[in-house]
Amino acid sequence: MVRGPSRPGVVAVAWARGWSRTSSAEHRRWAAAVLRRDRFVCQLRLDGCQRRASAADHVTAVAEGGEPLDVANGQAVCASCHGRKTREEAARGRARRSRLRPVPPHPGAV
């Protein structure tokens, strides 16, 4: 078992190597409130949707400026839709980072 910081309500998970934003008690309460509000029905309805929501997702990703604990910025999603949306957000994040990283000059051009 991986041990995280000694914070009440924080669960350490091995794959995160300790505490993560989504392991806090506040985040779990936010997710439960979003799922209850949407009655456990997937709000994305992408191709292959399973309809039964099993996760709460941010409408505007936290990395893109979304509020992390605002229920209005949450939506219930099924595993299939959540995976697809997460992959798309990760691709945008990688693209953002690559645009911000300066291109080093080619050694032969110096």
What is the per-residue pLDDT across 60-80, written as a single tens digit (0 to 9) for each?
999 999 999 999 999 999 999
- The pair phi, psi for residue 10, each rounded to 5°, is -100, 130
**pLDDT in the model for residue 70:** 98
What is the per-residue pLDDT across 20-45, written as a single tens digit (0 to 9) for each?
888 899 999 999 999 999 999 999 99
**pLDDT in the model for residue 2:** 42
State the pLDDT confidence band at 15, using cuts at 50, 70 and 90: low
Quick check: pTM over 0.85?
Answer: no
State the pLDDT confidence band at 3, using cuts at 50, 70 and 90: very low
**pLDDT in the model for residue 86:** 96
Average pLDDT estimate for 8-18:
54
State the pLDDT confidence band at 4, using cuts at 50, 70 and 90: very low
**pLDDT in the model for residue 64:** 92
**pLDDT in the model for residue 8:** 53
Q: How far is CA 67 from CA 3, 25, 93, in A?
A: 28, 16, 17
The torsion defined by the Cα of 27, 29, 31 and 36, in degrees rounded to 10, comes to -170
User: Per-domain residue ranges for the chain?
Assistant: 14-100
